[in-house]
């Protein structure tokens, strides 16, 4: 069974269509790049998958179920902004995730915090923006989820940290799980992607395995992206 299915999925805000009849199927065990410029509907799609928004038309299913309490047990979501409670310490944040998610691996979280040299006793409000983002990523990637939805995981960090973050994602996800990475920084993530989805003005304009795209066009995904989205 597909881990994520969209059928005629649309979402409008007032008169603006953020998603327009998206049909999509994601199979388990793939790392998928959801690529598109700002405003193409990437974040809206991820919010719909998390039940943070309701579709205007069509449907979205996670493991055959509409987003709800059951799907949230198997989805690990990294929003595109730092939103962890800043009155907590890093260790308290990990305990919070451990309390609510039965698939949370506390030892993996501890190991990642040590690798990133994050002091678990420090209050989050005293941490830098980059450290907060790393902490949030650690919490999300310490789950043994079946679907990871990562919204701009490398958007706010410097190029050196991007490699570390991507390495963390690859090293910590279960190979039977699906990882959907939303980004417009194609060159940085291209090497880890199995499949590519190009989203333009709320529509999927291209969906194919990354290797197949490169062979067919004789170009990198980043170069194809620049052609598709040339203004």
Partner 1 sequence: MLGKLMKYELRATSRTMLPILGVMLLVSGLANLAVRWMNTDRLPAALSVILGLSMVAFILGLISLGAITVFVMVARFRNNLLRSEGYITHTLPVSVHAQIWSKVLTAALWYAAAIVTIVLSVVLLVLDVDFIRGLTDALGDILRLFTDFNNVEVLVELLVILFLESVAMSLMIFAALSVGHSFSSRKMLASVGVFILFAVLTQVVSGVRVSMVPDAGLAAGTETAARGFMESWRITCGHLALGAIVSGGIYYLITAWFLKNRLNLE
Catalog residues that contact partner 1 under the rule CB under 8 A. 13-14, 47, 50-54, 69-70, 72-73, 75, 77, 79, 81-85, 87, 96, 99-101
Closest C-alpha among 165, 189, 149, 128 to residue 60: 149
Could you tell me the smallest distance in angstroms from the CB atom of residue 201 to partner 1? 19
Closest C-alpha among 43, 44, 61, 58 to residue 5: 61
Nearer to partner 1, 183 or 221 (CB): 183
Nearer to partner 1, 13 or 59 (CB): 13
Could you tell me the smallest distance in angstroms from the CB atom of residue 139 to partner 1? 9
Could you tell me the smallest distance in angstroms from the CB atom of residue 66 to partner 1? 12
Nearer to partner 1, 92 or 220 (CB): 92
Nearer to partner 1, 83 or 171 (CB): 83
For 167, residues 6+ apart whose C-beta sits below 8 A from its C-beta are: none
Alpha helix ranges (H) inside the chain: 42-49, 69-72, 90-100, 106-115, 129-141, 159-172, 186-189, 210-217, 221-228
Specify whether the CB–CB gap between 38 and 195 falls below 8 A.
no
Could you tell me the smallest distance in angstroms from the CB atom of residue 2 to partner 1? 21
Nearer to partner 1, 75 or 199 (CB): 75
Backbone Cα Rg of the chain: 17
Closest C-alpha among 103, 208, 149, 127 to residue 224: 208
Could you tell me the smallest distance in angstroms from the CB atom of residue 103 to partner 1? 10
């Amino acid at each position: 069974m597909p881990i994520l299915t969209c059928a005629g999925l649309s979402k409008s805000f007032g008169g603006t269509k953020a998603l327009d009849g998206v049909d999509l199927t994601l199979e388990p065990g793939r790392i998928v790049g959801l690529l598109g410029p700002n405003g193409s509907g990437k974040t809206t799609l991820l919010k719909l998958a998390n039940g943070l928004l309701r579709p205007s038309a069509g449907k979205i299913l996670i493991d055959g179920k509409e987003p709800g309490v059951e799907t949230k047990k198997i989805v690990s979501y990294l929003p595109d902004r730092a939103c962890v409670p800043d009155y907590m310490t890093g260790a308290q944040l990990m305990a919070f995730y451990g309390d609510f998610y039965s698939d949370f691996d506390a030892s993996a979280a501890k190991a990642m915090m040590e690798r990133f040299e994050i002091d678990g006793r420090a209050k989050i409000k005293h941490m830098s923006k980059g450290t907060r983002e790393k902490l949030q990523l650690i919490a999300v990637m310490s789950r043994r989820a079946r679907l990871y939805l990562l919204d701009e995981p490398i958007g706010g960090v410097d190029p050196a940290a991007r490699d570390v973050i991507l390495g963390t994602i690859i090293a910590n996800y279960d190979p039977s799980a699906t990882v959907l990475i939303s980004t417009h920084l194609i060159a940085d993530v291209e090497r880890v992607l199995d499949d590519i989805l190009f989203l333009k003005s709320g529509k999927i304009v291209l969906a194919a395995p990354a290797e197949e795209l490169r062979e067919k066009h004789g170009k990198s995904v980043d170069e194809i992206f620049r052609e598709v989205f040339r203004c």
